[in-house]
Amino acid sequence: MVIFLSGIILLMLLIIKFKVNPFLALILTSLVIGVAAGLPVPKILSSVSSGFGGTLGGIGIVIALGIMLGELLYQTGGTEEIASLALRKIGVKNSPLAMALTGVIVAIPVYFDAAFVILVNLARQLSEKTGIPLARFVTALGVGLIIGHCIIIPTPGPMAVAGALNASVGSFVLYSIIVAVPAALVGGVLYSKLTIKHFFPEQCGHEKADVDVSDDYGRSSEHCSGTLAILLILLPIILILIGTVAGAVLDKESTLGMICAFIGDKNVALFLGVVVALLALKKYFKSPAEEMITDAASQAGMVLLITGAGGSFGALINATGIGDYIVATMHDFNVPLIILGFTLSQILRAAQGSATVALVTTAAIVAPSIESMGASPILVGLAICCGGVGLSLPNDSGFWVINRFSGFTFPQTMKAWTIGGFVAGLTGLVIILILSMFQNVLPGLM
């Protein structure tokens, strides 16, 4: 435990104080933990490489393709049109709700930082026109985005968790939506509504009775439609679900069963999604497709490195027996694996800032205990994902994105973003615990 806690502190110091790149910090910390624990050198080296390769072997292609899909939607204005569509359907008076749902959807293909920068101006314009406090929009948007980023496949974190726990991707997608939407609404919409007068009294009292912004937020002819953008996001998810359902009801040796299994494979589904997006969005391209794909590939590089290094870190922890010891200790205190996964992920998230690193590392630690403890890999995985949602502190780049682009002070950012995310993650955990009460009868959980 001393080695483990020292390793976490070292990782925090490297990333936060000395500004070391998370990839380098994770690899260095992994090596230090291995040496400190007295592992043989060959075991240290093999654990680092196998953890890295094993993690990327399961999700590397998905991450790259997901980023490509996000870049295509971003460059063709699809993300902005999703927000406009949500506002038109839900209404301006419920615009914080629209912003939260937009955040959940947009975060699936577009990374948190970029998505927030894209949509925060829309939030600011809506606040000016409706008189609804800006803090409500910022909280709803930020929480919606981080929920989508941490919980819903094919974003890298939850994809890595599902792979590490050997969970059915289709079932994971289905239950992640069940968990994500209420969590985003409670943490992003309800929390901000209940606390706005106390935390942001200077923004209150300016709401307007009747506002029509249909002209302002109508669709631009230069952008793809919001409906098309949503369909392109849902296509790979639907294909994965088809593969999962078909695997349960069809003969796997039949022609139809094999076709469904093929198109429902996560790599094939994302690949088909990118191909369809290239064809459907072609007339909206403002730059060559090859240039956009190249930009997406450059974005994917560091994400892949950090994700793989998180796998190495988790593999070293398991090789030392630290992971088994932590799980056994929590088990002796009758702590369910769902609570353990959430708690470890939350601690790592607060400690070093990166939600993806927290998810990947926690999944690697608890994975060996899933079967022996009779836990549901889907529910444990979702608990890990929810643990990565909250407690965004100044060591998280997302904290400063919210702070900088919303114009909030440091305390305001903590109230709107850090606490809001924590409430959302805790809400997700409560839903997961309720689902666990029926895990033996609900389909796909065991």
On the CB side of 69, CA atoms within 13 Å amount to: 32
- Whole-model pTM: value is 0.77
Find the mean pLDDT for residues 166-173: 90
Cβ 354 vs Cβ 399: under 8 Å: no
- The amino acid that residue 219 corresponds to is R
**CA–CA dist 293, 47 (Å, integer):** 33
Q: What is the DSSP letter of 110?
A: S
Find the mean pLDDT for residues 174-189: 95
- 311 Cβ contact partners less than 8 Å away, ≥ 6 residues apart: 51, 52, 54, 55, 56, 160, 164, 360, 364
Q: Both tokens of residue 74?
A: 């971003």
Q: Is the dihedral of CA 147, 150, 154, 155 positive or negative?
A: positive
- pLDDT band with cut points at 50, 70 and 90 for residue 207: low
Cβ 95 vs Cβ 134: under 8 Å: no
pLDDT in tens, 377-428: 999 999 999 999 988 887 677 888 888 888 888 889 889 999 999 999 999 9
Average model confidence (pLDDT) across the chain: 86
Could you tell me which residue, 387 or 106, shows the higher pLDDT? 387
Domain boundaries, the chain: 2-205+223-436
- pLDDT band with cut points at 50, 70 and 90 for residue 215: very low
- pLDDT band with cut points at 50, 70 and 90 for residue 220: low
Residue 212 has pLDDT above 70, yes or no: no
Smallest Cα–Cα separation from 108: which of 141, 147, 148? 148
